Structure 1
Amino acid sequence: MEAIAFVIGLVLMIVGLAVSIALHEIGHLVPAKKFGVRVGQYMVGFGPTLWSRRRGETEYGIKAIPLGGYISMAGMYPPSPQEAARAGSGRAGGGFFATMVQDARAANDETLEAGDDTRVFYRLPVWKRVVIMLGGPLMNLLLAVVLFAILLSGIGLQTATTTVQSVSQCIIPADAERTECTADDPVAPAAAAGIEPGDVLVAVDGEPVETFAEASAIIQESAGEPIPVVIERDGAEQTLTLTPLAVERAATDAQGQVVVDENGETVTEEVGFVGIRQEVDYLRAPLWEAPVVAAQNVGAVANLIWQLPVKVWETGVDTITGQERDPNGPLSVVGAGFIAGEVAAADAPILNRVAGFLSLLASLNIALFVFNMVPLLPLDGGHIAVALWDGIKRAWAKLTGRAAPKPVDATRLVPATFVVVVALIAMGAVLIISDLVNPISLLG
């Protein structure tokens, strides 16, 4: 049964990724058509075409590998310079990169010949080119906000409330292989204080508490000290005296990771323990929380993207040396699918699993937004940078009274684009291999 649930989660992630890509390309397609650009193809995926249909001048289709997509617009770049056209292909003695530049120009010129020369991308005003290229990433950002809204305001976040679910009657030693109390076991502090299931914690040691985490923090800092606890029972408030028992536990840092000393030994700390378990409920947030959470995720992913080459290198080293990977490090689509499978197969209520999947898919769309905004070709951010540079050149020429310059020829950046593509393929390969050999697991 778990295997079936795992496969279902994996398939759902593939479908979710395909939908995210399809919406990304629609974000390019709609404004391109609105501004009159000739669009020859709208494709989701790469590789062999599984299905396609032509509607008007555009062929719509689905390809076999759902790891990307594209639309083909007429005249993404200005036509080849006349001198280059007269010189033929320009490959003789041109070298590898010169050949790549000419091939890019030739492919672009084919799109110019296939349609009306007035319906080309490079002739559009700068703001329209930016809108077209920005449309794709913004669709991913919008989808992420919608998914976070469903998660936060529709389902709600599972949160520990201040209502007591159960009370331990005794303190059983951690090394004891039993769950029942004996006459020799000391009474648990909560039971001794008279706390009962259903009680609501109102204040602890004089401090009003709204979450169980707030109450727990005060209790843990009060080991061995009698403290007043205000509870609400049957609509009336009562004040009880609670004396937390001092117990040792592993110390954790702000990220919840176990702290170790210079010798690799686990650092322990003494905290207060009373023996109560809290009720858990889904607390719904207002709708405006979704954009806030999305913005926070954008910042976190942007910081990761900035360090991506280093993080990928560390991931590769961890995989080769057999070390455990950084759980906050980068993932490939394979890794995201693996985690989606684990979420689906987890021993948890169905609502928890749905929430986990929505959170994962929303985070994936945030990553698509941030990654595509990197100002390097062939990413959308690279095309936006080229359009803005073209606008700056034209504005400067107008300001200085000079003739309008020729459109920026982005095919000259093909060598740099080639380097970026190779780097992306290499990093993707490292992450995919690592996700297969040394995956990040929610189960540890």
Structure 2
Amino acid sequence: MTTLMMILGIVVFVVGLLFSIAWHELGHLSTAKLFGIRVPQYMVGFGPTIFSRKKGDTEYGIKAIPLGGYIRMIGMFPPGADGKLEARSTSPWRGMIEDAREAAFEELEPGDEKRLFYTRKPWKRVIVMFAGPFMNLILAVAIFLGVLMTFGYNEQTTTVSKVSDCVISQSENRATCEKGDKAAPAKAAGLEPGDKIVAFNGKAVDDWSTLQGTIRDTIGPATITVERDGVRKDLKADLIRNQVSKTDGEGGYVEGQYVYAGFLGFTPATGIVQQSFGDSVSRMGDMMENGVEALIALPSKIPALWDAAFGDGERAQDSPMGVVGAARVGGEVFTLDIPPENQIAMMLFLVAGFNLSLFLFNMLPLLPLDGGHIAGALWESVRRHFARLFKRPDPGPFDVAKLMPVAYVVAGIFVCFTLLVLVADVVNPVKIS
């Protein structure tokens, strides 16, 4: 049964992946057609074609390898300086440029002269290239907000899970009391596991982050209002100053860093908490910020990833994952001994996270990514604006094809990184903690 659920989880993730890719390419396709650009192909996947059907002047299809997708637009790059495809050269760099230019004019048909991508104004080309990643962002936001506002988010709550017996400095890293340790204020006040703290010194609290901050700001007598067996009860506690772990401001802790603050002495329970729209938007902002930071930190994680793939290094929980690793996690989600609604929520979060990563990654201003084409169109707009401002001749379209050697280098780096992640995902995968 476990194997069957594992396979089901992988299949569900792959379906979500294919939908995400198709959704991304739909953004490019719809805006390209809106601006009159001819699109001969719309494909989900790479490699051999499994299924295709032509409608209008576009062939729609699915390919065998679900690791991406593409649309083909006529005239992605402008012709050479003479208005034609430039002559071949023995230079390998020139060969790359002209190969790309030639591919941009494949399947050229009569009347396409007015349907070429490069002939559109820069702002239209920016919209066409931005539309794909933007569709992933829309999908990520919709899923995140939907899950957070309807199902909720697993977080620490104001319900008591465990009450400390004594006061122990956090840096001592011990769990048992020793002779001479003072009784924890929570224990002395009569706080019990299962109590839900609803107010602190008469002020209502409904989230752990607020309660944690209030406790740490308090040293001395305090009134704690708890809900126990449906009845509210006031407990008197005398909070003391103690060494505790430094917080990140959101209820979590910073490992290895300590501060002195007010101490009550209990462990909060975790649970699924439904989020308001405002809280959901705030969490989305945090996820976006974390995503950007993770993307910036990606190069620094390569040595540890290499060690995990080819050495005896431990695979970190925040280690980069590829499609294979994400699919494996998706399979593990469906094998967890948790309610089905929790499994569905986790799977949706996984798909949403994948879409958020697609958006951020594709916005990098590097060819062959969408962000590279956006940067090229913006640079063309700047050049033409300055030409008009200083009454100089129109410099014409920016020849993005000349950047193809750089694009091949970038693509080569991406391929090597993808293979490294693939090996790590197979031999030392990230597992659900």
- TM beyond 0.5: yes
Q: Using the TM superposition, give the Cα deviation of residue 199 of structure 1 relative to its aligned residue in structure 2, in angstroms.
A: 5.1
Which blocks of at least 5 consecutive residues in structure 2 are unaligned? Answer: 167-173, 177-182
Amino acid at match of 2:287: N
Q: Using the TM superposition, give the Cα deviation of residue 368 of structure 1 relative to its aligned residue in structure 2, in angstroms.
A: 0.3
Q: Using the TM superposition, give the Cα deviation of residue 252 of structure 1 relative to its aligned residue in structure 2, in angstroms.
A: 8.4
Amino acid at match of 1:158: N
Contact 1:253 1:259 in 2 (8 A): no
SS in 2 for 1:345: coil
Distance 1:436 1:252, change over 3 A: farther
SS in 2 for 1:149: helix
Deviations 1:50-74 (A, max 9, x none): 1100001000000111111111111
In the other structure, the counterpart of 1:30 is 30
Distance of 2:311 and 2:401 partners within structure 1: 41
1:310 to 283, 300, 306: 300
SS in 2 for 1:387: helix
Deviations 1:265-284 (A, max 9, x none): xxxxxx8656x885845323
Distance of 1:118 and 1:41 partners within structure 2: 18
Amino acid at match of 1:135: A
- TM-score computed with the length of structure 2 as normaliser: 0.82
In the other structure, the counterpart of 2:319 is 329
Distance 1:13 1:85, change over 3 A: closer
Max Rg structure: 1
SS in 1 for 2:113: coil
Contact 1:75 1:111 in 2 (8 A): no
CA RMSD between the two structures: 3.7
Q: Which shifted more, 334-343 or 126-135? A: 334-343
- TM-score computed with the length of structure 1 as normaliser: 0.80
Give % identity.
40
Distance of 1:149 and 1:382 partners within structure 2: 30
Distance of 1:358 and 1:307 partners within structure 2: 25
Distance of 2:55 and 2:296 partners within structure 1: 41
1:148 to 141, 144, 147: 144
In the other structure, the counterpart of 1:297 is 287
Q: Using the TM superposition, give the Cα deviation of residue 342 of structure 1 relative to its aligned residue in structure 2, in angstroms.
A: 1.9
Q: Using the TM superposition, give the Cα deviation of residue 75 of structure 1 relative to its aligned residue in structure 2, in angstroms.
A: 0.7
Answer yes or no: is 1:338 the counterpart of 2:333: no
1:105 to 63, 78, 101: 101
Answer yes or no: is 1:428 the counterpart of 2:424: no
Contact 1:28 1:71 in 2 (8 A): yes
Deviations 1:295-344 (A, max 9, x none): 33232222222232332233113433311133223211112112222222
Contact 1:156 1:285 in 2 (8 A): no
Distance of 1:281 and 1:427 partners within structure 2: 36
Contact 2:130 2:374 in 1 (8 A): yes
Contact 2:157 2:268 in 1 (8 A): no
Distance of 2:341 and 2:111 partners within structure 1: 51
Q: Using the TM superposition, give the Cα deviation of residue 391 of structure 1 relative to its aligned residue in structure 2, in angstroms.
A: 1.1
Q: Using the TM superposition, give the Cα deviation of residue 125 of structure 1 relative to its aligned residue in structure 2, in angstroms.
A: 1.0
Deviations 1:170-194 (A, max 9, x none): 99x989xxxxxxxxxxx99989866
SS in 2 for 1:201: strand
Q: Using the TM superposition, give the Cα deviation of residue 151 of structure 1 relative to its aligned residue in structure 2, in angstroms.
A: 1.1
Q: Using the TM superposition, give the Cα deviation of residue 203 of structure 1 relative to its aligned residue in structure 2, in angstroms.
A: 3.4
Answer yes or no: is 1:124 the counterpart of 2:129: no
Contact 2:79 2:85 in 1 (8 A): no
Amino acid at match of 1:285: S
Contact 2:73 2:104 in 1 (8 A): no
Distance of 1:379 and 1:408 partners within structure 2: 17
In the TM superposition, what are the counterparts of 1:256-275 in structure 2 within 5 Å? 256=253, 259=256, 273=265
Q: Using the TM superposition, give the Cα deviation of residue 41 of structure 1 relative to its aligned residue in structure 2, in angstroms.
A: 0.4
Amino acid at match of 1:229: I
Contact 1:24 1:140 in 2 (8 A): yes
Deviations 1:182-225 (A, max 9, x none): xxxxx9998986667875423356765323566578789999x9
Answer yes or no: is 1:379 the counterpart of 2:383: no
Amino acid at match of 2:273: Y
Deviations 1:132-176 (A, max 9, x none): 001000000000010011111121223454456x889x99x989x
Deviations 1:100-145 (A, max 9, x none): 1121122223244465210111111111111100100000000001
Q: Using the TM superposition, give the Cα deviation of residue 35 of structure 1 relative to its aligned residue in structure 2, in angstroms.
A: 0.8
Amino acid at match of 1:13: F
Distance of 1:144 and 1:174 partners within structure 2: 41
In the other structure, the counterpart of 2:19 is 19
Amino acid at match of 2:340: I
1:395 to 379, 385, 396: 385
